[in-house]
Structure 1
């Protein structure tokens, strides 16, 4: 192909690709989660297809899709609906003054010994009236934001249903035809075969580790924390459990940001057994759960450093919203994988240049003298 034609083709390819991506952007979340679920549940689809003798890929994909709907989508919808109702009740209690974080803070400070009051004054935490007003105003703003998000979800029901339909429709074809799509996608990447295989393997590993591992661990910690809050009679246990599940996605902080202050409140206000039980449960059950489940679900070789996970998760959520807790670590892992491949790519490039130079040098060398 002549150079002008090839460059024109590349320009056309870039233009139509950008136009197509811009068309898909309104449903990027549905497409993204369809691909993520396809990567996670593709082993189930292959196992079902093997049990059927490889004769009905469509039926195997449909049964896998049905399992995904029953064990993932329907429970998430139920939790989301219950959470919306609880957020609305939480907002009404804060707005009416039944739930007053400033009052709780005042009770904690009043129960502390006098020696601690001077320490709080040095940090500007001794002005009870000011701190109480700030906590009450902050709690009201947070509850208003949560209530607004719940209303937005209700108003965008049609868009949610359409996105869910697109995700399920795409997921069926990705499960059925995924084995044929992967080799075609690999051929489109202009890299060495070993590099392409490594990047695709890293992508699948990180997606499975992030979703299968981190989400299962976070959901388990949130469930156990919510059940303990229910046992201790704390209002809004579902809301606090979901909050602990989200915070569990962040290493080094986790669910202790929720159950820790509650345990301290119990201890300083005289509810000793509630505080001791919550601390023991948080440390021995919720805290150790990550160390027990992560090696099983994620694996030691696939785990990113905790500081990378923390930064990439926060950065991904700030850029992509809720989907960023998967997109952020995924981009971080792919970036680290590319830099790991960089020395090999440089070495292969230098070897190719040397092979190109040697024939040129041999052709420019003077001819050997004739034999005597």
Structure 2
């Protein structure tokens, strides 16, 4: 749904050669999506190795941070940490280093499984591109077959399909745009504040931004505490101000504009649907949750008579023509 308009424009320029247009769209997707993703992943691997190396050689300000935090903790909190052997910076850092070392040993001992997983990922990736080609090429025809087989009136089918397409497109575009914006801005803010691993933290914030309300705060709040605890007051104040104001505006303005405008759903419903979808379906729930909610509202409006057929009684003629063209190739 996101790249089908791109394919249609390419097909028009190629003289209605639908198969070639779908193939060129696949190439564009690989260039603008997977190539940057591969570059980011390589940078993440480098920064993860850097963080691990610093933990191994104690090349961090971790003891200073923990000592400063412990000095401000209430007595019951210090007792709780002492009961779990976490009453000193050395103990905490040693446990982190041990965990990182065990993780590295596990990965080294599982080289065969990693290779097998890499092979499986490569095969799955190839199958995905193969299916994506045919979905781009024959997708409109398949959708038309599904619509024609549904025992509903033409208007109801068109209304539900339009709602499905609008919500899926808006949710993916809106969520991805917000995630990229928060990740890029967050990583930039960490770089300005002098924090190591800005690309790593930016990528984590982009992923966590899929969770409404909390999102990137899971990363930047501990970072701000770290900066204040190490005496870097202006950097800590900058992180707090930047994320509260700039990132807050991105999340509270950009997300409703991109998602709520097209879906015509209130913000609280988008929040509940997203959280519920991710709870049940995992990462895919950020699309499935709002999609189910929007289709439920659409069916409710149709059954309650709030939506009327008006002058529309047939499936859109332009869509039918596109479906026929995709079938003829």
TM-score, with length taken from structure 2: 0.75
Answer yes or no: is the 8 Å Cα contact 1:266–1:272 preserved in 2. yes
Bigger shift: residues 306-315 or 42-51: 306-315
Q: How far has the Cα of 1:173 moved from its partner?
A: 1.7
Q: How does 1:97-116 map to 2 (within 5 A)?
A: 104-110=65-71, 112=72
**Structure 2 residue 218 is the aligned partner of structure 1 residue 257:** yes
**Cα deviation code 1:285-317 (max 9, x no counterpart):** 222123443355335241644454444444444
Between the aligned partners of 1:41 and 1:233, the Cα distance in structure 2 is: 38
**Structure 2 residue 9 is the aligned partner of structure 1 residue 57:** no
Equivalent residue for 2:6?
A: 44
Q: How far has the Cα of 1:40 moved from its partner?
A: 0.6
Larger relative contact order (Cα-Cα within 8 Å, sequence gap ≥ 6): 2
Residues 1:193 and 1:130: Cα distance change in structure 2 (over 3 Å)? farther
Q: How far has the Cα of 1:336 moved from its partner?
A: 3.6
1:338 corresponds to which of 269, 278, 299: 299
Q: How far has the Cα of 1:328 moved from its partner?
A: 3.2
Q: How does 1:344-363 map to 2 (within 5 A)?
A: 344=305
Q: How far has the Cα of 1:264 moved from its partner?
A: 2.9
Between the aligned partners of 1:137 and 1:174, the Cα distance in structure 2 is: 51
Residues 1:138 and 1:245: Cα distance change in structure 2 (over 3 Å)? farther
3-state SS of 1:330 partner: helix
Q: How far has the Cα of 1:272 moved from its partner?
A: 1.2
Q: How far has the Cα of 1:130 moved from its partner?
A: 4.7
Answer yes or no: is the 8 Å Cα contact 2:201–2:219 preserved in 1. yes
Q: How far has the Cα of 1:69 moved from its partner?
A: 0.8
Between the aligned partners of 2:252 and 2:258, the Cα distance in structure 1 is: 11
Q: CA-atom RMSD, angstroms? A: 3.6
Q: How far has the Cα of 1:189 moved from its partner?
A: 2.2
Residues 1:60 and 1:285: Cα distance change in structure 2 (over 3 Å)? same
Q: How far has the Cα of 1:146 moved from its partner?
A: 8.1
**Structure 2 residue 77 is the aligned partner of structure 1 residue 125:** yes
Between the aligned partners of 1:88 and 1:328, the Cα distance in structure 2 is: 36
Larger radius of gyration: 1
Equivalent residue for 2:315?
A: none
Q: Structure 2: which 5+ residue stretches go unaligned?
A: 310-329
Residues 1:51 and 1:297: Cα distance change in structure 2 (over 3 Å)? farther
Answer yes or no: is the 8 Å Cα contact 2:225–2:236 preserved in 1. yes
Q: How far has the Cα of 1:156 moved from its partner?
A: 0.9
Between the aligned partners of 2:52 and 2:264, the Cα distance in structure 1 is: 39
Answer yes or no: is the 8 Å Cα contact 1:252–1:306 preserved in 2. no
2:152 corresponds to which of 153, 168, 191: 191
TM-score, with length taken from structure 1: 0.67
Q: How does 1:1-372 map to 2 (within 5 A)?
A: 39-52=1-14, 54-91=15-52, 93-94=54-55, 104-110=65-71, 112=72, 117=73, 120-121=74-75, 124-127=76-79, 129-130=82-83, 133=86, 155-294=116-255, 296-302=257-263, 304-344=265-305
Query: What is the number of residues matched between the two proteins?
Result: 299
Between the aligned partners of 2:205 and 2:163, the Cα distance in structure 1 is: 29
Residues 1:154 and 1:220: Cα distance change in structure 2 (over 3 Å)? farther
Q: How far has the Cα of 1:271 moved from its partner?
A: 1.0
